[in-house]
Amino acid sequence: MRRYAIYYSPPEASALAIAAAAWLGRDACGRRCAAKEATGGISESRRAEIIASPAHYGFHGTIKPPFPLADGRTEAEFATALAEFCRRRRAFSLPLLVISEIDDFLCLRPAEPCPPLKELAAAAVREFEGFRQPSPPEELARRRVVGLTARQEALLQSYGYPWVLDEFRFHLTLTGRIADPAERAAVTRDLARRLPPAIRSGIPCHGLALFVEDNGQALTMQANCPFSA
């Protein structure tokens, strides 16, 4: 099974990307990065559990989540289409990214609405739907476990993912679920030290990245597709 995803990935040399790679233990290309400091009050084994899921996917913001290619579509065709899509677009800056909670996991989210980002995501979701193999029943069932609204269910059936278009929630995931509020607060404090506001503001969105997952292995960036300007 080979799956493809369209992600936003911050510039590789940016302070945010470097700090996030140290936190997750790997960068977007799959290179290992050693953490420079321990997580206060949390054992290394527990920290490994906390970051396991986001480390598998790499530090990113989802634009179109992982999917197998539809029958008759090729990887080369998809990569070419994504590069052309990006060439038609212009760069913009993200608002300040703030450490937030979604369903007990921690992430970075824009502090204010970002219309160019929302428009970009909606355009990409629609543009590349023809490349996506329809989701199997078990995948749809997994998405429904969290409880979906009628609108989210309709989006799930149309696009294989309930949080697209008007339900889009851009975020860059930092942890898996942390059920204990006290532990979640401790990790939040640690992340605030590692990811200070100075490296979370004015981050450019200058392109999109093609990530690939082979047979359940960690997703890695295969191509970076820049915008035209």
Span 150-186, pLDDT tens digits: 999 999 999 999 999 999 999 999 999 999 999 999 9
> Under a CB-based contact definition with an 8 Å cutoff, are residues 104 and 180 in contact?
no
Flag whether pLDDT at 15 surpasses 90: yes
Phi, psi at residue 91, to the nearest 5°?
Answer: -70, 155
Span 60-82, pLDDT tens digits: 999 999 999 999 999 999 999 99
2-226: CATH topology: Cyclic Phosphodiesterase; Chain: A, (3.90.1140)
Segments making up each domain of the chain, as ranges: 2-226
99, 126, 127, 141, 197 from 203: Cα distances, Å: 15, 25, 25, 36, 11
CA 48 – CA 175 distance, rounded (Å): 10
Flag whether pLDDT at 52 surpasses 90: yes
Query: What does the pLDDT read at residue 1?
Result: 85
CA angle in degrees (0–180, nearest 5) for 118-83-71: 90
Cα-Cα-Cα-Cα dihedral of 98, 173, 14, 40, to 10°? 80
- Size (the chain), residues: 229
